[in-house]
Chain A
Amino acid sequence: MGKSKQETKMIEVVLNDRLGKKVRVKCNEDDTIGDLKKLVAAQTGTRADKIRIQKWYNIYKDHITLKDYEIHDGMGLELYYS
C-alpha cells in the first residue's frame, strides 16, 4: 500500500507512562499536542486535561503541532498526569 507523498501524513506515536499504560495513537502530523491528548484520553479513559506529554524534561505545549516538535512516525513519548 503506497502512501502518497503529501505535505502532512499520518503518523503513529507510542505513549508510555511506565506504569503499565502503553498506547499507540494514529494521528496527523499537523495535529496539535492538544488534539493528541484528546485522542489519548479517548483511548485510555483519563481526562484530556489531566494528561501531560513529555520527552525527557521537555513538557510539550498544547497549541504546537507534532510536526513542529519534530515528532516522527513510531516515536515514543512519555505520558504523565497532572
Chain B
Amino acid sequence: MANRTDPAAKSIRGTNPQNLVEKIVRSKIYQNTYWKEQCFGLTAETLVDKAMELDHLGGTFGGNRKPTPFMCLVMKMLQIQPEKDIVVEFIKNDDYKYVRVLGAFYLRLTGTDIDIYRYLEPLYNDYRKLRQKSGDGRFILTHVDEVIDELLTKDYSCDIALPRIKKRWNLETVGALEPRKSVLEDDFEEEEEKEENDQLDDGLEDGAYERDYHHGRSPTRERDRDRRRDSYRYRDRDYDRDYDRDRGRGRERDRDRDRDRDRERDRDRNRYRLRDDREYGRERDRDREREGRDRERRDRDRGRRRSRSRSRSRSRDRKRHARSSMSPRRDRDEPEDVGTRAEPKKKKEKKEKKDDGTDHPDPEIAEANRIRASLGLKPLKL
C-alpha cells in the first residue's frame, strides 16, 4: 500500500510511472531500509528536505544490489509525481547540487524531449564535483556536467534505463529548438583563429602529416590523427564538446549525414573530422583518396568475413556518410593490419592469419571469436 503510485498521477510513456524502473531494481528499492523509514509519506515539500541531505548519487551497489538513497528519492518522485514547476525549481536551484541532479534525473525520465534539452543543457556549465557510488561500493569522483552529459547521450544511468529521446538535430530541423548556443562560443572563435594562424605559420604538424601521407604510411597518419584528436579532447573537455557542437552546426557539408546516428561516437568522429576540416583544401583531395583506399580495404575485408552483418552495415554506412571515417570500433582490426602492411603488400598480408581467430574455418568458432574480440577477450583456445 505504501508502494502504490498516487492514483491522481498521470501515466508516463503509457505506463505506471514507477514502471520506468525495472522490476528487480524496483523490488530492491521497496525492501530498502531508507525507503521504508525515510521515504514513507513524503510530500513534495518534505522531499526537498530529504534531497538536501543527499551526499552522493549512484545506482545499485554491492553483491545484493542495494539501492542508494538517491535512487530511493527518484522512485519517490516517480510515485508522487511533483508538478513540473517544482522539478524546474529543483533544477534551477544553485545551492544544492544533488537536488539539482535529482531534478535533472527526474526530468530526464518523465519530461518531453524539448523540455529535457531546454532545462538540462544549461547545466552543462555547472562544473561542481559530485560523489558517485559505483557498483562495487566505492565512491568515484564525477562532475555535474559529466552526469548531465550521460543523461543526454547514454541510455542507461544509475541502473535505470533512460527513455529514448529524439536527437537534438531532429528537433532543430523541425524548428522546435534553437541550434545549440554555447556560453563559451566567443572564446572558441578567438582560440580557433589563433590556432589557424599558428598552424599555418609553423607547418610542423602539417609537415609531418603531409610527409606521412605521401609515403603512404597510413598507420602513422592514423596515430598522428589519434594523437591530435586525443590531445585536443583532453585539453579541455567542455571546450571541445561545445566547440564541436557549434562548429559542426555552422557547416552544411557532412553535418546532416552524421546527425542521424544515435551514438556517442558521433561526437568523437565529428571532433576530429572538424580538425581536418580546418585544413580545408588540402584535406578534401587527401580525404577522397584516403576514402578510396578505405573502401578498397573494406571491400576486401567484407569478402573475408562471414556473418558480420552488424559491422558490415556499419562500415558501409560509415563509408557512405563520413568523409574520413576511422571509427573506434574498427580499431580492433586496425592494429593487426597496422603493424604489418604498407600499401602494396596489403592484399597478401590480409590473406594470412589474423591472430584473434576470426578467420577460423568453423563458422561457429569464428563467430564466437568475433564476439570475444569485440568484448576484449582473447580468442578461444582450441
**Which A residues are closer than 8 A to B by beta carbons?**
3, 6, 8-10, 26-29, 31, 35, 38-39, 42-43, 47, 49-50, 59, 81-82
Interface of A is mostly: mixed
Report the 3 A-B pairs with minimum CB-CB distance, sorted nearest first: A10-B380, A26-B368, A82-B65
What is the chain B residue whose CB lies nearest that of A28?
B381
Asked whether, in the complex, the Cβ of A59 is within 8 Å of the Cβ of B24, the reply is: no
Asked whether, in the complex, the Cβ of B380 is within 8 Å of the Cβ of A26, the reply is: yes
Separation in Å of the A82 CB from the closest CB of chain B? 5
Separation in Å of the B70 CB from the closest CB of chain A? 18
Known A26-B368, A39-B372, A42-B371: A82·B380 in contact at CB below 8 Å: no
Separation in Å of the B284 CB from the closest CB of chain A? 40
Asked whether, in the complex, the Cβ of B375 is within 8 Å of the Cβ of A9, the reply is: no
B54 located at the interface, meaning its Cβ lies under 8 Å from any Cβ of chain A in the complex: no
B8 located at the interface, meaning its Cβ lies under 8 Å from any Cβ of chain A in the complex: no
Asked whether, in the complex, the Cβ of A42 is within 8 Å of the Cβ of B375, the reply is: yes
Residues of A within 8 A of B381 (CB): 6, 8-10, 28-29
* Contact residues of B between 196 and 249, Cβ < 8 Å to A: none
Separation in Å of the B363 CB from the closest CB of chain A? 12
The CA-CA distance from A17 to B65 in the complex, in Å, is 19
Residues of B within 8 A of A47 (CB): 156
Residues of B within 8 A of A38 (CB): 375, 377
The CA-CA distance from A82 to B380 in the complex, in Å, is 28
What is the chain A residue whose CB lies nearest that of B371?
A42
Asked whether, in the complex, the Cβ of B375 is within 8 Å of the Cβ of A82, the reply is: no
The CA-CA distance from A10 to B372 in the complex, in Å, is 13
The CA-CA distance from A42 to B310 in the complex, in Å, is 13
B152 located at the interface, meaning its Cβ lies under 8 Å from any Cβ of chain A in the complex: no
Asked whether, in the complex, the Cβ of B24 is within 8 Å of the Cβ of A3, the reply is: no
The CA-CA distance from A28 to B64 in the complex, in Å, is 27
The CA-CA distance from A6 to B382 in the complex, in Å, is 9
Separation in Å of the B25 CB from the closest CB of chain A? 9
The CA-CA distance from A29 to B371 in the complex, in Å, is 17
Residues of B within 8 A of A8 (CB): 381
**Which B residues are closer than 8 A to A by beta carbons?**
24, 63-65, 135, 156, 364-365, 368, 371-372, 374-375, 377-378, 380-382
Asked whether, in the complex, the Cβ of B382 is within 8 Å of the Cβ of A10, the reply is: yes
Separation in Å of the A74 CB from the closest CB of chain B? 16
Asked whether, in the complex, the Cβ of B371 is within 8 Å of the Cβ of A50, the reply is: no
29 A-B interface contacts by CB (under 8 A) = A3-B382, A8-B381, A9-B381, A9-B382, A10-B382, A26-B364, A26-B365, A26-B368, A28-B378, A28-B381, A29-B381, A31-B377, A35-B375, A35-B377, A38-B375, A38-B377, A39-B371, A39-B372, A39-B375, A39-B377, A42-B374, A43-B371, A49-B135, A50-B24, A59-B63, A81-B24, A82-B24, A82-B64, A82-B65
What is the chain A residue whose CB lies nearest that of B156?
A47
The CA-CA distance from A49 to B372 in the complex, in Å, is 17
Residues of A within 8 A of B382 (CB): 3, 9-10
Separation in Å of the B352 CB from the closest CB of chain A? 22
Separation in Å of the B356 CB from the closest CB of chain A? 13
What is the chain A residue whose CB lies nearest that of B135?
A49
Besides A8-B381, A38-B377, A42-B374, 20 new A-B residue pairs in contact (Cβ under 8 A), listed by A number = A9-B381, A10-B380, A10-B381, A10-B382, A26-B364, A26-B380, A27-B380, A28-B380, A28-B381, A29-B381, A38-B375, A39-B375, A42-B371, A47-B156, A49-B135, A50-B24, A81-B24, A82-B24, A82-B64, A82-B65
Residues of B within 8 A of A29 (CB): 381
Residues of B within 8 A of A43 (CB): 371
What is the chain B residue whose CB lies nearest that of A6?
B381
The CA-CA distance from A47 to B365 in the complex, in Å, is 23
The CA-CA distance from A39 to B375 in the complex, in Å, is 8
Residues of A within 8 A of B380 (CB): 10, 26-28
